């Protein structure tokens, strides 16, 4: 099963601490993983690349929220134990715990603005997950906006852009030394040439397709033919649309990439 949201972990975490012993977040994560029958894949799932696992993140925030409500208390760096209030809550035998339940305690209500307190009970995301979701949404919106602006520019601008992009990524050095936009009659279907290294010993040939339609296998095969005509070993085909399934499995005989 998927990793439960952090509010679903509140009561199990409090029960785990109900033995009165000191525990660490890692111990709690392993215990809750066993309780919920999580697989190794479930336990390894990340909030986002380079971020903590969802399990560790959600257990950590469940502990933070229980501590904010006074149900758990710190017991040294990275360790916790149940508080007297936590024992009393367990004695009540609640069927579930959530942020709305915790807001009955004055200490919990003092943290955060009123607007935040109103939103929290309805959110099952941890703060880190909320930040990551907002970040990814902003990235998608920005990417969509940039793509529309690019589509509205001239073909010559797009051909220059697909050369400038690899240069900005560090290929070859300066724009003058590393990139060359071809994009003219008789170019053999090649719109740009990128020096792969600063010495110019190897080159990547680029073709740009400022399309709305899906790019299919015939276009990729034609580009592969252009690479052979240039005796090129590497090429990148960049489009503003997308590729159909077939080109992704097409063999060009050369090293190539689809973007």
Low-confidence ranges of the chain (pLDDT < 50): 113-115, 117-121, 186
Q: What is the pLDDT of residue 118?
A: 44
Q: Which residues pair with 82 in a beta bridge?
A: 72
User: What is the structure's pLDDT at 161?
Assistant: 84
196-243: pLDDT as tens digits: 776 667 788 888 887 778 888 888 888 888 888 777 778 888 888 888
pLDDT score of 113: 44
Whole-prediction pTM value?
Answer: 0.58
Query: What pLDDT score does 217 carry?
Result: 85
Asked if residue 53 lies in contact with residue 44, where contact means CB atoms within 8 angstroms, the answer is yes
Give pLDDT, residue 154. 83
Contacts of 38 (CB under 8 A, 6+ apart): 1, 3, 55
Q: For the segment 9-21, what is each residue's pLDDT rounded down to a tens digit?
A: 999 999 999 999 9
Q: Name the pairing type of β-strands 234-239 and 255-258.
A: parallel
Amino acid 59: pLDDT: 95
E strands, the chain, are 23-24, 72-74, 79-82, 179-181, 192-195, 203-209, 234-239, 255-258
């Amino acid at each position: 099963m998927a990793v439960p949201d952090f509010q679903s972990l509140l009561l199990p975490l409090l029960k785990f601490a109900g033995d009165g012993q000191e525990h660490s977040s890692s111990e709690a994560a392993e215990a809750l993983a066993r309780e919920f029958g999580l697989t190794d894949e479930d336990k390894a799932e990340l909030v986002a690349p380079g971020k903590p696992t969802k399990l560790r993140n959600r257990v950590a925030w469940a502990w933070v929220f229980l501590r904010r409500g006074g149900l758990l208390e710190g017991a040294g760096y990275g360790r916790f134990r149940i508080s007297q209030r936590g024992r009393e809550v367990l004695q009540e035998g609640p069927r579930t715990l959530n942020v709305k339940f915790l807001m009955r305690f004055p200490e919990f209500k003092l943290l955060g603005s009123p607007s935040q307190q109103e939103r929290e009970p309805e959110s099952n995301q941890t703060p880190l997950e909320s930040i990551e979701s907002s970040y990814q949404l902003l990235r998608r919106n920005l990417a969509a906006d940039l793509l529309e602006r690019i589509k509205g520019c001239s073909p010559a601008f797009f051909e220059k852009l697909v050369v400038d992009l690899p240069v900005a990524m560090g290929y070859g050095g300066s724009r003058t030394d590393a990139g060359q936009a071809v994009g003219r009659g008789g170019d053999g279907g090649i719109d740009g040439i990128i020096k792969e290294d600063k010495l110019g010993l190897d080159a990547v040939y680029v073709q740009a397709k400022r399309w709305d339609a899906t790019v299919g296998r015939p276009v990729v095969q034609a580009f592969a033919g252009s690479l052979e005509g240039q005796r090129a070993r590497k090429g990148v085909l960049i489009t503003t649309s997308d590729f159909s399934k077939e080109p992704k499995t097409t063999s060009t005989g050369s090293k190539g990439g689809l973007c």
